[in-house]
Structure 1
Amino acid sequence: MLAFLFLSPFIKVNGNQFLMFNILERRFNIFGFPFWPQDFHLFVISMLIGVVFITLFTVAFGRIFCGWICPQTIFMEMVFRRIEYWIEGDRNKQRKLARQKWDAEKIRKKGLKLIIFLFISFLIANVFLAYLIGSDKLIRYITDGPFEHLGTLVPLLIFTGVFYFVFAWFREQVCIIACPYGRLQGVLLDTKSIVVAYDHKRGEGENGRKKFRKNEDREALGHGDCIDCLQCVHVCPTGIDIRNGTQLECVNCTACIDECDHIMESINLPKGLIRYASEENIEKKAPFRLTARMKGYIAVLSIMIGLLIGMLFLRNDVEANVLRLPGQLYEHKENNIISNVFTYKLVNKTSNDIEDVSLKLMSHKGELRLVSTSDEFTVLAKALQKARYLLR
């Protein structure tokens, strides 16, 4: 997933960037398929399909998107936190370093982390810019030199600072405070949704959890398998206790699952005390089934995908618009000749130039003469051709 996020703006499909969201020029590429302003309705349907898909996925599998697909989590866990562990050590060593006086060791480690974090933030900002303006334009800006495009360099440095702030300091607070998706859990999740869950029936037993003691028969004493080691809390990036149930702060990173499984193995107890499960599965051992709500979302999603596919097949590669020149009235000339000036716009949505294009009158008698261009012209690939013509 990390490679996908870095490489997507540099992958070309039929000459089109794989993913691009050029808001300023209102040009978007989704999976190599270009969307122009004239295709805005298709883009809206595509976005709605994405929203419905994420909603369906959340209803069925909880907040798994946050833990495994969200760029914030991927960069934080796969890049920045690993670098931090490599430089400063694990959680306990980091806390010790934070309390340590500013000696040579602390300055070296903090300085090295600062430099690496800033460099990676700058790299991410460049990739982010490639999504916005296109990789070809980004590469051209780099080869031209940064001072040739100060209007782009300044926002790039601002985004570098934002990314550094997010990954070096704000971190999981983005998920808790800034991101609205987590707050949808209360609306979308139900007892049948699969989430990262603590099996309280197994973990608590009849007499609750208890610290581990060697050679103790916990089952006979009525204690559950949870030994109250708090490792699930220590490894949680947002600091919650998963044993208290599903919470807003849980991003489904499964760090608690891995740590709990490790503890269970070390004391010869079955793994899965914390696992992906629904509340109904824990309470009643009920297997996962599609609910009526899930089936409804699937039906809506299928209809929208079918509609989008049909509209894509009906979409034209070239689109033309002809309008009367604004503010210009017709002219009545000699021999009862009426003259009008029109503007035309030709949009070439393909990756190839369209050559030898000409305008002709097909159904009426008269004369059509292009203004400021020759009778035949070329519409460049992925470009807009705009000019005027005189009709009389």
Structure 2
Amino acid sequence: MSVNVIPPPANFRNVLPTSDSSGHRRWLYPRSITGRFTRWRTVVAIVLLVGLFAGPFVWVDGHPLFMFNVLERRFIFFGVTFWPQDFYLVAFGLITFIVFVILFTVLYGRVWCGWACPQTIFMEMIFRKIEVLIEGDYNARQRLDNGPWTTEKIVKKGIKHAVFLVIAFAISNTFLAYMIGRDQWYRLITDNPGEHLAGLSSMLVFTGVFYLVFARLREIVCTTICPYGRLQGVLLDKNSLIVAYDFIRGEPRGKKVKHNTDDQSEAIPSGLIPLPIVQSAPPKGDCIDCKLCVQVCPTGIDIRNGTQLECINCTLCVDACDDIMHKINRPLGLIRMDSQEGIEKGKPFRFTGRIMAYTGVLVALLSIIGFMLISRPMLDVTVLRAPGQLYQHEKGGNVSNLYLVELVNKTYKPIPIRFKLSRPDAKLVFVQPFSVIPGGELAKSMFFIYLPEKSIQENSTPLQIDILVDNKVIKQIKTTFLGPVK
């Protein structure tokens, strides 16, 4: 059966949803809607928001669960500390995350953006709801913005932006606590601000950035700034699950018309047989062209024009359309989560070779990271000869070299440590002796190595330093000793 499908307007991509024909910003006023997907998104948002704001303040065994201290180059994920020496783990983690994003997008499209992205959650679940609470529904907000500056408008706008600044300040404090840690953040907000000008300035800068993002930029972050939307054209295929309009069912769209079925026998002269009424109007699809799916869209697109990079898979249009279908007694799902193959040919979702290939790569990367985490040494030791230093002649016919040592305890328990040289005629003396490395700390020191001058046979003598913990060698470091050769 052939279907008369109305193609999207040829010029619908000539103007962005957030700008008018002259190129100026077109402010969006999404209409509020409720439905099963909206309720689930609210639950997910609450869980993620609680986790986000509680993250830097949750400590386990006296240590933060999460911390991203860029200044000290110390990162904590789920209580496990990572140092710059663990950069290879970070690199593999980033690669794994990218592969995961690719696989997730191939399967479910841009669901991350609509359901888990902090930008969307803050905008739609906090700032937008506050705006509706203060200024009213989408019609009231349009009237308020287009109207003159009255006392009511000044009061509402002032209250709204003041609340926005308070929330932006709370968000900036949370992110700062992630970066510098709970205790240092607490000292920052309780001490004299003059003693923490750098931290206070960072907090104010973050506050201004978050305020501008959620008060002015809004959906432009998703449609223009964020590069993830443009990756859809590369990652999506006909088997990816996306928010899609079923044009097979919906077209041709149009208003439903009730035909007059009243008895017309009085208008027909007696003795004549009435002819049947022929309906010349073409049959209509299920879409009644109410445009509610456009009115609720936070990025201002018409999902009926097909998959677009501005679509964040928030499923608001699904709830709006389902509500209309319920009212006109038609099956739900005119707009639904489905693949292009599912819409056009009714095929169910299936795992393709492309999906299985991405899955295989992801499993392999996860296995590698797991092995690296398990085999990661508890103590990282770096020994370097002091830069710019050669050798020195000492009393008693000895020659000395100066070395720098850096030790990182990657556990939360103190580790007793001892250094031992492989050569019996060599002697190691610390400038600042230490025997225990505190848990989760980085320790630095210097030491001298002495060798008898008569035992030096070459300019660069190889040496081996054994690192002992509980009298067990956990690491062997090879270095060289510079000395004179006669």
| TM-score normalised by length of structure 2 | 0.76
CA contact (8 A) 1:16 1:34 kept: no
Alpha-carbon displacement from aligned partner over 1:41-65 (angstroms, at most 9, x marks no partner): 0011111111110110001100001
Residue 109 of structure 1: aligned partner: 156
Residue 389 of structure 1: aligned partner: 447
Shift, 1:103, TM fit: 2.1
Shift, 1:170, TM fit: 0.7
Confirm or deny that 1:369 pairs with 2:429: yes
Aligned-partner Cα distance in 2 for 1:155–1:239? 34
Confirm or deny that 1:283 pairs with 2:341: no
Q: Residues 306 and 170 from structure 1, CA distance in 2 versus in 1: closer, same or farther, beyond 3 angstroms?
A: same
* 2:445 maps to amino acid: A
Q: Residues 42 and 15 from structure 1, CA distance in 2 versus in 1: closer, same or farther, beyond 3 angstroms?
A: farther
Alpha-carbon displacement from aligned partner over 1:227-266 (angstroms, at most 9, x marks no partner): 0000000111111000000001111111111111111111
Q: Which residue, out of 412, 435, 438, partners 1:380?
A: 438
For the residue of structure 2 that corresponds to 1:222, the secondary structure is coil
* 1:364 maps to amino acid: P
Aligned-partner Cα distance in 1 for 2:62–2:283? 66
For the residue of structure 2 that corresponds to 1:249, the secondary structure is coil
Shift, 1:95, TM fit: 0.6
- Comparing 54-63 and 21-30, the one that deviates more: 21-30
Matches within 5 A, 1:1-392: 1-204=48-251, 208-214=252-258, 221-354=282-415, 356-361=416-421, 363-371=423-431, 373-374=432-433, 376-392=434-450
Aligned-partner Cα distance in 2 for 1:378–1:144? 33
Alpha-carbon displacement from aligned partner over 1:202-233 (angstroms, at most 9, x marks no partner): 011xxx11113457999x95211000000000
For the residue of structure 1 that corresponds to 2:419, the secondary structure is coil
Aligned-partner Cα distance in 2 for 1:361–1:303? 40
Aligned-partner Cα distance in 1 for 2:188–2:149? 41
* 2:66 maps to amino acid: L
CA contact (8 A) 2:67 2:181 kept: yes
Alpha-carbon displacement from aligned partner over 1:283-336 (angstroms, at most 9, x marks no partner): 111111111111111011011000011111110111111111111112234544
| Unpaired segments ≥5 residues, structure 1 | none
Shift, 1:8, TM fit: 1.9
Shift, 1:13, TM fit: 4.2
Aligned-partner Cα distance in 1 for 2:113–2:242? 12
* 1:210 maps to amino acid: G
Larger Rg: 2
Shift, 1:35, TM fit: 1.2
Alpha-carbon displacement from aligned partner over 1:264-289 (angstroms, at most 9, x marks no partner): 11111111110100000011111111
Q: Residues 168 and 254 from structure 1, CA distance in 2 versus in 1: closer, same or farther, beyond 3 angstroms?
A: same
* 1:161 maps to amino acid: G
For the residue of structure 1 that corresponds to 2:443, the secondary structure is strand
CA contact (8 A) 1:16 1:29 kept: no
Q: Residues 14 and 180 from structure 1, CA distance in 2 versus in 1: closer, same or farther, beyond 3 angstroms?
A: farther
* Pairwise CA RMSD: 2.0
Structure with higher helix content: 1
CA contact (8 A) 2:135 2:141 kept: yes
Q: Residues 81 and 324 from structure 1, CA distance in 2 versus in 1: closer, same or farther, beyond 3 angstroms?
A: same
Would you identify which runs of 4 or more consecutive aligned residues in structure 1 move more than 6 Å? 215-218
Aligned-partner Cα distance in 2 for 1:319–1:268? 68
Q: Residues 262 and 214 from structure 1, CA distance in 2 versus in 1: closer, same or farther, beyond 3 angstroms?
A: farther
CA contact (8 A) 1:209 1:224 kept: yes
Aligned-partner Cα distance in 1 for 2:143–2:355? 48
* 1:152 maps to amino acid: G
Alpha-carbon displacement from aligned partner over 1:109-140 (angstroms, at most 9, x marks no partner): 11110110000000111111122222332122
Aligned-partner Cα distance in 1 for 2:342–2:256? 27
Residue 270 of structure 2: aligned partner: none
- Identity across aligned pairs (percent)? 52
Aligned-partner Cα distance in 1 for 2:194–2:306? 53
Alpha-carbon displacement from aligned partner over 1:319-374 (angstroms, at most 9, x marks no partner): 111111111112234544222221111111122333x5443435533332211x24
CA contact (8 A) 1:15 1:351 kept: no
Q: Residues 323 and 280 from structure 1, CA distance in 2 versus in 1: closer, same or farther, beyond 3 angstroms?
A: same
CA contact (8 A) 1:195 1:278 kept: yes
CA contact (8 A) 2:58 2:64 kept: yes
State how many pairs are aligned: 385
For the residue of structure 2 that corresponds to 1:339, the secondary structure is strand
| Unpaired segments ≥5 residues, structure 2 | 1-47, 262-278, 451-486
Q: Residues 8 and 336 from structure 1, CA distance in 2 versus in 1: closer, same or farther, beyond 3 angstroms?
A: same
Aligned-partner Cα distance in 2 for 1:32–1:273? 46
| TM-score normalised by length of structure 1 | 0.93
